[in-house]
Structure 1
Amino acid sequence: METRLWRKLLMAGLAVLWLGGCQMATTSGESESDDTVSSGGTVWEGTAADYTLLAWNDLGMHCMDGNDYSVFSILPPYNNLNAQLIKRAGTSDKHVTGGVTMTYVAATSLDGKYNTTSVYTDSNDLKTNFWDYVGALFNATPAPDTGLTGNHTPELSEHTLSYNAAEQWWEATGLPITPYNDDGSKNYYPMVNVTAKDGSGNVLATTKVVLPVSDEMDCRACHGSASGYTDAMPAGGWENDADPEKDYKWNILRLHDQEHPSAVSAHQAELQAAGYNGYDDAGLYTTAKSGNPVLCATCHSTNALGTTGVSGTKPLTEALHALHAEVTDPTNGETLNSSTNRDACYRCHPGAATKCLRGAMGKVGTIQCQSCHGNMSAVGAQGRVGWLEEPNCQACHQDGKRYETAVTDMQTGTLRDAVDSRFATNPNTPASGVSLYRFSAGHGDMQCSACHGSTHAIYPSSHAEDNLQSIAVQGHEGTVNECLACHDTVPRTSSGGPHGMHSVGQYWVGEHGDVAESSRIGCTSCHGSDYRGTFLSKTFSARSFSTEWGTKTFAAGHAVSCYDCHNGPGGD
């Protein structure tokens, strides 16, 4: 399943920085204990606990087919929870890799509601029939509320995460969570509490994070019998099913059989060798009508599920995106390929309600899905390796600049070449020739996602639940950037912090002059070629320092420059 690729992580490198003002470093040398950070009325001294726990969802949004799996399936309910536990003392060997128990339980979202099961609501309404068809679809027989990797839906009882030594993180994979609260209300952002305990059961650290899931991967706008979209109507007419979850799926299978009448018969031997004995030579529609739902990834390979497909068949991402690139959007008359905004992608992906692209980049109105991925034909280009050939951080974050498009050609999806690696993803991660944020790690072997947030939900997010962990850890939302979030004292360094950052604190007030005199050009990376400050030198929180001229205070968001205290870089 997904973890066959997701768990190929290498633990060395850098990450994206969207809002600037990097956090502090782990480095050898002395540390000072008198630094505090003031933010939003909170004085963050970092003395409350000996450990910091950071957790995240690996993708920022997981999709599932909805509540019906009786016709066909693209994706099962499958969510991944990762975590890293850090000792706050010291500057080395900070990762806790054993001797503790790490657990997850369902937590209330900000609406005060729980999501503790994926089977029935409190009113006995079915959340999903996935477990009725999981055997036919995935050749597996997990019990209800148990996922394909054996892990349980978050509930009020504790379930454990295991430590993955190869990836240097704690994990619970394949959590079969659905986007429904127990009272039946929709919730695309259910939450869990993650807790670390020592061998005696004493709590070391806790955190609360989102496990986002959407069933908005929906094709009914064109393929539903009530859509009126005649271009998608099968030659024999619409299949009319009273259940809208099934209706559009029947029509898709009829179209597939119409265009590829020998799809099953030509590959029957391969299907049976893979353990699928219920496919009818007559086609996919007949197969599903006989009670054997179709898994698209059985024939169409996809790195999302780790399937290899059958011979002569396009990968799933290529088949879907290339086919639909020239489809006309029924809402505006434009082809999906010609669209320059996220509405075209939200037509099928989550979506108009879910708003998957909700992180710092998604909050910028001029940044669209196409800004990073190119148009639909680029995503569906022949030979592109889906889920691996993705945008990287350095295409936008380089040379002290922050571009709003990662691609230089929408038609091909060609990424901008990077001129430096300060904010780069790890090369050849998770495989040769690819370099992905969701697999990358950086400062102190911390996962990039641990400090910056998950893909599509980069901190600070427009969704309040996404920001709760950052606020709890450091007193303000956004990138986990305060040294004292993970250190009990502020390490002293001139360049050993994340992305080559120096210390921020009273120590640096006294030491930065000597560093600047010996290597002033290095300051320009963040403070600008004119030394007047840039978005990279902005403070994440309000800070006050003692200087020979008295106390100097910087408001949150201030772009620190040489002119704040001196008459330029060479002035007094």
Structure 2
Amino acid sequence: MLIEHRMRTALALLVKGLVPALLLAGSAQAEKYVLLGWNDLGMHCANGDFSSFVVLPPYNNVRAQLVYSQEGSLPQLVTEGVRIDYSIPGNTTSVTKTNFWDYAQQIFDLPAPLPPDVGLTGNGLTGSMEALDGFFEVTGVPITPFQDDDLVNEQPFQLIRLEARRESDNFLLAMTEVVIPVSNEIGCVSSGCHSSEQSILNHHDDEAGFDPNDTPILCARCHSSNALGTPGIPEARSLSYRLHEKHKDIRPTNSIATCYKCHPGNQAQCLRGVMATGIDEPMICQSCHGTMRDVAESISEGRRPWLDEPSCGASNCHGSNYAEQPNTLFRMSTGHGGLYCSACHGSPHAILPSSEENDNLQVISLQGHAGTLAQCTVCHTDIPLGNGPHGSPAPAAAVADLQIVRLAGNQAHLSWSPVQGVSSYLVYSMPSADARPAQWTLLGDQAATQYDDLIGTPDEERFYRVVCVSH
């Protein structure tokens, strides 16, 4: 197995100069904060019009974790003495972009009208996240898919800015921007399936006591919804069951296009993660959830929609080594160092790397490239000796004294102490300290703990990385 060690950052820089010089490995920051954020579902949909029937309100949830690391200690999750503020660049108001606030009190039986731009949980488009046990969260952000300068074209993958600040003096500790996804593509009519929303209500005319003209009507008032927490009427069955059972014969049954008739959507295409776009045989919605008939039948057999969902750890998927916590959804599971799975892997439906550029911005800013957050030194100032996430190998022992000496004739002499359990060493040169692996040049593959390198010119700067190989 390949074991990468960075000697703190595991980099050594050969500086300019003709005189022999001793250079120690570059040191990581003595202390640092890293802010990781994500959306809970990878997509939130909401009605565009609330005057007829209502499936979902504008309601978006974002979580974050703040990691503090100092030299000589393991990183720690911080929730005390700090706060995380949030805002949405380019989207400062929602009340002028939807009629939700005209009907919210009636739809949800509220004691008073909602203030403009305030959602069902009392949160707005700016504010501070709530500090909880090991993480921060804001729920019910009432965002619409329209930015302030374009009220026509949906922008389903906008960014929410998170700023971690020290409470004592408001000092900015860390900042990140992550996708806060939202779409109005609940396509009952726009998909071409129904002539109007009123016609859907009229199909309920055989239900005793139901008046299809008494609008607006919250679907989850009668049909229970775990998404909204409504018990509904038992005889009416859940909204998830009714929708999937009613439409189970739509063709093609095993196509993502069928799901996009209701779920966002032909424009948003919310299934955008690596499993759908980054593998040779892309997966579709049915690969995990089954057909609409499968979804309906599983609910009839006792599955709880929104609460019992496909598992990453299933034997036909990634296996137990990559499973969620027992009886816990992926989006609620934690692992390495208490980090939530989504902190490193991304949101459900947007597992990294994503085909949507905005989904990748956070990890690119932290490790220089898209994909799973996998660079240890993003959080660690010192690489620990134990295994990493999912049992991934770490160095058997720390190399403490990588040394580089400038010799005559533009030569550099590298030396280091042996690492226990290592059979050979790969010596790389790099054009910069943050160069990606594709930019590394292999200089040597050897058992010896020293290497001589010829520098092109006396003024050339060169970076080195030592990778230990253990069999």
Is TM > 0.5 for Structure 1 vs Structure 2? yes
Q: Alpha-carbon deviation of 1:256?
A: 2.2
Q: Which of residues 73, 95, 101 in structure 2 aligns to 1:131? A: 101
Query: Is 1:54 equivalent to 2:22 in the alignment?
Result: no
- Structure 1 equivalent of residue 237 of structure 2: 314
Query: Is 1:466 equivalent to 2:434 in the alignment?
Result: no
- Structure 1 equivalent of residue 411 of structure 2: none
Instruction: Flag the structure with larger Rg.
Output: 2
Contact 1:37 1:542 in 2 (8 A): no
The residue matched to 1:318 in structure 2 has which SS? Answer: helix
- Structure 2 equivalent of residue 275 of structure 1: none
Q: Alpha-carbon deviation of 1:366?
A: 3.0
Q: Alpha-carbon deviation of 1:82?
A: 0.6
Judge which range, 90-99 or 214-223, deviates more: 90-99
Q: Alpha-carbon deviation of 1:93?
A: 6.4
Compared CA separation, residues 352 and 202, structure 1 to 2 (3 A): same
- Structure 2 equivalent of residue 78 of structure 1: 59
Q: Alpha-carbon deviation of 1:201?
A: 1.1
- Spell out, residue by residue over 1:429-481, the C-alpha distance to the aligned partner (whole angstroms, 9 max, x if none): 2xxxxxx1111110000000011000000111000001000011111111111
- Structure 2 equivalent of residue 150 of structure 1: 122
Q: Alpha-carbon deviation of 1:505?
A: 9.4
Output the aligned Cα RMSD: 3.2
Q: Which of residues 25, 31, 46 in structure 2 aligns to 1:64? A: 46
- Structure 2 equivalent of residue 393 of structure 1: 312
Q: Alpha-carbon deviation of 1:46?
A: 5.1
Q: Which of residues 361, 382, 389 in structure 1 aligns to 2:275? A: 361
Instruction: Give the Cα–Cα distance (whole angstroms) in 1 for the partners of residues 201 and 3 of structure 2.
Output: 51
Query: Is 1:96 equivalent to 2:78 in the alignment?
Result: yes
Compared CA separation, residues 325 and 481, structure 1 to 2 (3 A): same
- Structure 2 equivalent of residue 428 of structure 1: 327
Q: Which of residues 539, 548, 553 in structure 1 aligns to 2:447? A: 548
Instruction: Give the Cα–Cα distance (whole angstroms) in 1 for the partners of residues 368 and 291 of structure 2.
Output: 39
Q: Alpha-carbon deviation of 1:311?
A: 2.9
TM-score by length of 1: 0.65
1:96 is aligned with what amino acid?
A: V
- Spell out, residue by residue over 1:148-207, the C-alpha distance to the aligned partner (whole angstroms, 9 max, x if none): 1010024xxxx1111012xx2101110000000112232001112101111211111000
Instruction: Give the Cα–Cα distance (whole angstroms) in 2 for the partners of residues 349 and 376 of structure 1.
Output: 12
The residue matched to 1:131 in structure 2 has which SS? Answer: helix
Q: Which of residues 269, 286, 294 in structure 2 aligns to 1:378? A: 294
Instruction: Give the Cα–Cα distance (whole angstroms) in 2 for the partners of residues 387 and 139 of structure 1.
Output: 24
Compared CA separation, residues 481 and 176, structure 1 to 2 (3 A): same
2:227 is aligned with what amino acid?
A: A
Instruction: Give the Cα–Cα distance (whole angstroms) in 1 for the partners of residues 218 and 26 of structure 2.
Output: 51
1:449 is aligned with what amino acid?
A: S
Equivalence map 1:30-49=2 (5 Å): 32-36=7-11, 47=29
Could you list the runs of 5+ residues in structure 2 that have no partner in the other structure?
A: 14-24, 400-416, 425-435, 453-466
Contact 1:359 1:459 in 2 (8 A): yes
- Spell out, residue by residue over 1:253-286, the C-alpha distance to the aligned partner (whole angstroms, 9 max, x if none): 01122xx331xx2xxxxxxxxxxxxxxxxx3312
2:393 is aligned with what amino acid?
A: H
Contact 2:75 2:380 in 1 (8 A): no
Compared CA separation, residues 397 and 261, structure 1 to 2 (3 A): closer
Compared CA separation, residues 23 and 317, structure 1 to 2 (3 A): farther
2:178 is aligned with what amino acid?
A: V
Q: Alpha-carbon deviation of 1:59?
A: 0.5
Compared CA separation, residues 37 and 208, structure 1 to 2 (3 A): farther
- Spell out, residue by residue over 1:12-33, the C-alpha distance to the aligned partner (whole angstroms, 9 max, x if none): xxxxxxxxx9999xxxxxx942
- Structure 1 equivalent of residue 347 of structure 2: 454
Contact 1:73 1:296 in 2 (8 A): yes
Structure with more of its chain in strand, by fraction? 2
Query: Is 1:115 equivalent to 2:115 in the alignment?
Result: no
2:327 is aligned with what amino acid?
A: N
Q: Which of residues 177, 197, 204 in structure 2 aligns to 1:249? A: 197
Compared CA separation, residues 310 and 93, structure 1 to 2 (3 A): same
- Spell out, residue by residue over 1:196-232, the C-alpha distance to the aligned partner (whole angstroms, 9 max, x if none): 111211111000111000111111134443xxxxxxx
Compared CA separation, residues 98 and 541, structure 1 to 2 (3 A): farther
Equivalence map 1:439-518=2 (5 Å): 439-493=332-386, 495=387, 497-503=388-394, 507=398, 511=419, 513=421
Compared CA separation, residues 503 and 468, structure 1 to 2 (3 A): same
Compared CA separation, residues 387 and 462, structure 1 to 2 (3 A): same
Equivalence map 1:526-537=2 (5 Å): none
Instruction: Give the Cα–Cα distance (whole angstroms) in 1 for the partners of residues 12 and 230 of structure 2.
Output: 49
1:133 is aligned with what amino acid?
A: Y
Compared CA separation, residues 323 and 48, structure 1 to 2 (3 A): farther
Query: Is 1:352 equivalent to 2:266 in the alignment?
Result: yes
Could you list the runs of 5+ residues in structure 1 that have no partner in the other structure?
A: 1-20, 25-30, 108-113, 121-126, 226-247, 266-282, 328-334, 403-417, 430-435, 517-538, 553-561
- Spell out, residue by residue over 1:37-91, the C-alpha distance to the aligned partner (whole angstroms, 9 max, x if none): 99xxxx997539610000111000001011x101110000000011000002254
Compared CA separation, residues 63 and 482, structure 1 to 2 (3 A): same
Name the % identity: 41
Compared CA separation, residues 23 and 170, structure 1 to 2 (3 A): farther
The residue matched to 2:313 in structure 1 has which SS? Answer: helix
The residue matched to 1:192 in structure 2 has which SS? Answer: strand
Structure with more of its chain in helix, by fraction? 1
- Structure 2 equivalent of residue 273 of structure 1: none
Instruction: Give the Cα–Cα distance (whole angstroms) in 1 for the partners of residues 291 and 349 of structure 2.
Output: 17
Instruction: Give the Cα–Cα distance (whole angstroms) in 2 for the partners of residues 352 and 512 of structure 1.
Output: 55
Instruction: Give the Cα–Cα distance (whole angstroms) in 2 for the partners of residues 36 and 310 of structure 1.
Output: 64
Q: Alpha-carbon deviation of 1:488?
A: 1.4
- Structure 1 equivalent of residue 455 of structure 2: none
Contact 1:506 1:545 in 2 (8 A): no
Q: Alpha-carbon deviation of 1:249?
A: 1.0
Equivalence map 1:205-220=2 (5 Å): 205-220=174-189
- Paired positions, count: 402
TM-score by length of 2: 0.78
Equivalence map 1:279-294=2 (5 Å): 283-288=210-215, 293-294=216-217
The residue matched to 2:117 in structure 1 has which SS? Answer: coil
